[in-house]
Amino acid sequence: MTRELDLRREHYNTIRLHEGIGYVTPDDEHRGRGQAIRDARRKGLERARSNRIATRRKLRHTTHRETPNDVVN
């Protein structure tokens, strides 16, 4: 029983992400890594968004779009 509680406690504190502290583990927050993790996550999401926008703009200018004048009845 004690071993099971130890396993649960370890999972809760070192693996499970907690919404109330910004989706980091209590261990990360306690050791001062929480803010760095949240900052890195935010920067990664911003970078992904910028890349997605750039890719879509590039595709918009390189792909052919059918216009009403292109349609032949």
Q: Global pTM? A: 0.70
Round to whole Å and give the CA distance between 51 and 59. Answer: 12
pLDDT at 69: 65
Number of neighbouring beta carbons within 10 Å of residue 34: 19
Instruction: Kindly state the tokens that stand for 20.
Output: 């109330």
pLDDT at 1: 87
Contact between 56 and 68 (Cβ < 8 Å): no
Per the model's pLDDT, the better-predicted residue between 59 and 68 turns out to be: 59
Domain range summary for the chain, segments of one domain joined by +: 2-62
pLDDT at 62: 77
Round to whole Å and give the CA distance between 69 and 64. Answer: 13
- Which residues fall within 8 angstroms of residue 15, CB to CB, at 6 or more apart? 25
Dump pLDDT digits (tens) for 14-62.
999 999 999 999 999 999 999 999 999 999 999 999 999 999 999 987 7
Per the model's pLDDT, the better-predicted residue between 51 and 71 turns out to be: 51
Residue 9: is its pLDDT beyond 60? Answer: yes
